[in-house]
Amino acid sequence: MNTYEVVIITKTGMDQKETDSLVTKVVEGIGGTVDSTDPWGDRKFSYPIQGHVIGSYCTYMVSCEANKSAELKRLLGFEEEILRSMVLTKKD
């Protein structure tokens, strides 16, 4: 399994437990696991994203098969509460 760093920005109305369960559901749906979570809190955007000027940032360390990373990015894009997401390969 490979390790990925997943950075997401959610709408500010969601609390951290809701965000964690949403990401965990998506990751476990592709056969991966969430190893750690690092919430950054609310930040103001330099320009509006989907009409929002503030979003909640959070970073997740995720383990999954290499061929599932594109599927992870795709599934995160379908979630209405997630404004932006980025999946990065973690080099050891």
pLDDT number for residue 92: 66
pTM of the model: 0.90
Averages of pLDDT over runs of 10 residues in the chain (92 residues) are 94 91 95 95 94 95 92 93 93 72
pLDDT number for residue 91: 78
CATH architecture of 2-89: 2-Layer Sandwich (3.30)
pLDDT number for residue 38: 95
Q: What is the 3-state secondary structure (H, E, C) of 22-66?
A: HHHHHHHHCCCEEEEEEEEEEEEEEEEECCEEEEEEEEEEEEECH
